[in-house]
């Protein structure tokens, strides 16, 4: 499983730039660049949300990947050693992206 660094601080799963969700899905089936990908697991942070059931970010995180044009996509799983998810001020999944995307 890859190490996942996430700067989407508006996501309820973000805990000190790590992801508290044990598995995420990167969307962007037809993506040819990082801009066309997104973290489909994004959920906007709410005042009553928790970072995770244990209160700690998990690392590493399992990453399902729909971006079939990415060099790291192996049978819809990410094979990169480390993944970056970007999305400063994002309030929807479409405003996030996989910074690690590399075209085949």
Q: Considering only CA atoms, which of 72, 74, 100 is closest in space to residue 85?
A: 100
Determine the pLDDT at residue 56.
59
Q: Give the model confidence (pLDDT) of 25-72 as tens digits.
A: 999 999 999 999 999 999 999 876 554 444 556 666 789 999 999 999
Q: Considering only CA atoms, which of 47, 30, 27 is closest in space to residue 87?
A: 27
- What is the full DSSP assignment across 80-92? -SEEEEE-TT--S
- Measured distance CA(61)–CA(69) in Å, rounded: 21
Confidence of residue 3 (pLDDT cuts 50, 70, 90): confident
Determine the pLDDT at residue 102.
97
Q: Which residues contact 41 (CB under 8 A, 6 or more apart)?
A: 13, 21, 23, 24, 25, 93
Sign of the Cα pseudo-torsion (45, 48, 52, 55, in order): positive
pTM given for the model: 0.85
Please state, for a pLDDT cut of 70, what percent of the chain lies above it: 88
């Amino acid at each position: 499983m890859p190490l996942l660094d996430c700067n989407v601080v508006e996501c309820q799963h973000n805990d000190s730039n790590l992801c508290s969700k044990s598995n995420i899905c990167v969307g962007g089936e037809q993506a040819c660049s990082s801009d066309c990908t997104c973290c489909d697991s994004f959920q906007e942070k709410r005042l009553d949300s928790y970072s995770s059931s244990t209160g700690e970010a998990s690392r590493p995180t399992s990453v399902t990947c729909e971006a079939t044009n990415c060099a790291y996509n192996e049978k819809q799983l990410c094979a990169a050693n480390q993944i970056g998810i970007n999305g400063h001020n994002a309030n929807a999944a479409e405003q996030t992206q996989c910074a690690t995307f590399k075209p085949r």
